[in-house]
Amino acid sequence: MRELKYKSMLKRYEGNPLFAPEEFPFGAADQVFNPGQVRTPDGRTILLLSVIMRNERHARCHVAESRDGIHFRIQETPLFSVDPEKPFGKLDFHPIDCRVTWFPEDGCYYIMRPANSEWGCCALLYRTVDFRTAEPMEVIALPHNRVPCLFPEKIGGKYVRLDRPYSVGAPYEKSFANIWISYSPDLIHWGEHRPLLQRGFMPWNGLKVGPTVPIRTEEGWLELIHGVQNTFAGWRYSLGAVLLDLEHPDRIIGRMNRYLLTPETPFERQGVIPEVVFATGAIADIETRELRVYYGGADTTVNLATGNLDEIIEGCRKGI
């Protein structure tokens, strides 16, 4: 591979991709991508892989588990697959892009994810304790909304989430999107919606910005975002970062203008959907200050990039 010219704050793992469809152990897959990600209290890394099998009509989600964050064992039975008989099953024909939040106060993981069907794309909420089964809780966003991300603790006594509702009315390829924040007493009923971050502060996010699961740091909530640029050759997805006030997460206290990661390697530039790096969250080690981002490349592979928390927070604060 040709040497990349610019140093990124996120360093790609030299063994990328971590998951490629050719190596999927349970049949012929075309896409293994966009993983939900979380670290368990006992230090395991859990990924919720978005999987599209060759010649299957619908996607599935398989859980992968690792002790070292590099070598994973994939569970054969999907955590989510399409079954119209299941609760919310008739809304749910494309179970990908899970957002996972470990919520210590409730002693469980919450999974928010898009559910796509002929009814449009709404968002579902699940709860799990073991990633073997997930209990369906509620439909928590109307179409079109595919990106709710839950904060890992209550703030001001309420659950808080970020999401990215679609604009409606524009032609699909021009439909823009911004990040909103909202609150709930019980995870089921959401309100007090407010706009938080607007697209278009740099060309790499000219069309859309969307959230990931926020990470608590001493300096504020570190929030990785995706940004979409509309080019004549199609959409290009990059990753960026903003910092939110710990007690008032509706306040942006820092924002990197540069992207953190943009499609540059063959795994990111070529695949089913070219020019995509896409993350649903990241895993931070507050002690070692390492940030690990498991991200989809070109909607085809799973890759890893690591960075230093302080450097990224500083980047947000300085607005580089």
Site string for ligand BMA, 289-318 (x = CB under 6 A): -------x--x-------------------
The reply on whether position 273 binds ligand BMA by CB under 6 A is yes
In this complex, which beta carbon is closest to ligand BMA, that of residue 48 or of residue 96? 96
Out of 20, 51, 64, 96, name the contact with ligand BMA by CB under 6 A: 96
Q: Judged by CB under 6 A, which stretch of 59-67, 78-86, 197-205, 270-278 contacts ligand BMA?
A: 270-278
Rg (CA), the chain: 18
- Region near ligand BMA per CB under 6 A, out of 2-10, 15-23, 64-72, 271-279: 271-279
> Count of residues for the chain?
320
176 is a contact residue toward ligand BMA (CB under 6 A) = no
- Residue span 111-140 as binding mask against ligand BMA, x where in contact by CB under 6 A, dash where not: ------------------------------
Q: Is 58 in the site for ligand BMA (CB under 6 A)?
A: no
The least distance separating ligand BMA from the CB of residue 97, rounded to whole angstroms, comes to: 5
| CA separation for the pair 199, 209 (Å, rounded) | 5
Q: Which residues of this chain interact with ligand BMA, rule CB under 6 A?
A: 34, 96-97, 237, 273, 276, 278, 296, 299
